[in-house]
Chain A
Amino acid sequence: MNTLHMPATERTPELLFDFAANTFSLKGESYPENIAEFYSSPVGQLKEHLTAQKGQKITFQFELPYFNSSSAKIILGLFSMLEQAAVDGNKVLITWTCEEGDDMQEMGEEFAEDLDAAKFELKFLG
C-alpha cells in the first residue's frame, strides 16, 4: 500500500501513515469540524492493513497537544487496533509524546491501561 499524508490544519493533526514501513503518526491538535470526514477513511485503511500483518515491526507515534472528546474515541479505537495487531504476532510500539504533567499525559496513560501485547512508551517534550 502507499503512503497516506495529510498536512496539519488548524484543527486537524498531521497524519502520516507509511504502510510499507509500518510507521504511523498523528501530530497536532485534533478537534475536526467533522470527525468522520477526517478519520474514517485513513482509520479504515489502517485497520485493513494491520489485519494483514504478521511478524512485522509496527510503530505508531501520537503527539497530540489537545484533542476533543470525539477524537478521544478515535484514539481509543486506534489503540485497540494496535493491541490486536500485537496479539496477532506483530511487534507493536506506541509512543505518546506530551508535556510532562499535562492532562494529555494522564489521557495517554489511561489509553495505555488496555494494552497488554503492544508496548507503550511515554515521551516528554522539551
Chain B
Amino acid sequence: MLANEMFDLRNTLDQQGITFCYSGYMTEAILFGIGNAIKTHMEIGDADAKLAKGVFAVFVEQVQNVIRYSAEKVGKEDASELRYGILTVGTMGEKPFVACGNMIEIKDADRLRDSLTHIKGLDRDGLKALWKETLRGEVPEGSKGAGVGFIDIARHARGGIDFDFRTVDDAYVFFTLKALL
C-alpha cells in the first residue's frame, strides 16, 4: 500500500518528465544541495555545457525567489524564517525545463502579471536592454536582490517562459513560472 502510493507519485512525476522535485520550505542550503545534484546529473547525461549552465542559472533565480518572496512562510523575518515553494526540473520533448510555484499575496498578483507579460513579450535584444536598465536602476521597493531575477530567467529560457496564477482564497494566489531552456 505504502509502496504503491509512493510509486504512483514517483510515476506521475516521471510521466511529466520530471527528474527533480522538491516541495517544502526552501533554504539556501537546499538550493546549494539540489543545485549540485542538478549539475552532476547533467554532467553524467553529457548535457551541452551551455545548456546545463542555463538550467542551473534559472534554478538559482527560481529558488531564490521562493526563499525571498513566497507568501507562505513560518518564523520571524530573520535567519529563522522559512518560506514554502514547489520546484520541478525535468525535460519536455528534448528541452530541459525548470518550474517553480509559490503563494503570493493577492495584492501583488497584478503587478507580477504585468511585469511577466512585458518580459515574455520581449525579444532577445529587448530582454538585454531591460536587464541592463534594471541593473543600473535603484533596487525596486520590496526587492531583496537586484530586481532582475525574472529578466535573467527569461534570458536563459531560450524555449520561452510561461506563467500562471490560481486564486486560493481571499488573501492568496498560487503563482507558477516555468522556463524552457
Question: Contact residues of A with B, CB < 8 Å?
Answer: 10-11, 31, 33, 35, 65-66, 68-70, 72-73, 76, 99, 101-103, 110
Interface of A is mostly: loop
Besides A72-B152, A76-B132, 13 other A-B contacts (C-beta < 8 A):
A65-B53, A68-B60, A69-B61, A69-B145, A69-B149, A69-B151, A70-B146, A73-B146, A73-B148, A76-B135, A76-B136, A102-B49, A102-B50
Given contacts A10-B32, A11-B32, A110-B128, contact A103 B156 (CB under 8 A): yes
In the assembled complex, which residues on chain B have CB atoms less than 8 Å from the CB atom of A66? 53, 56-57
Q: Interface size on B (CB < 8 Å)?
A: 24
Given contacts A73-B135, A73-B148, contact A31 B50 (CB under 8 A): no
In the assembled complex, which residues on chain B have CB atoms less than 8 Å from the CB atom of A102? 49-50, 53
Closest chain B residue to A76 by CB distance?
B135
The distance from the CB of A1 to the nearest CB of chain B, in whole angstroms, is 28
The distance from the CB of A43 to the nearest CB of chain B, in whole angstroms, is 14
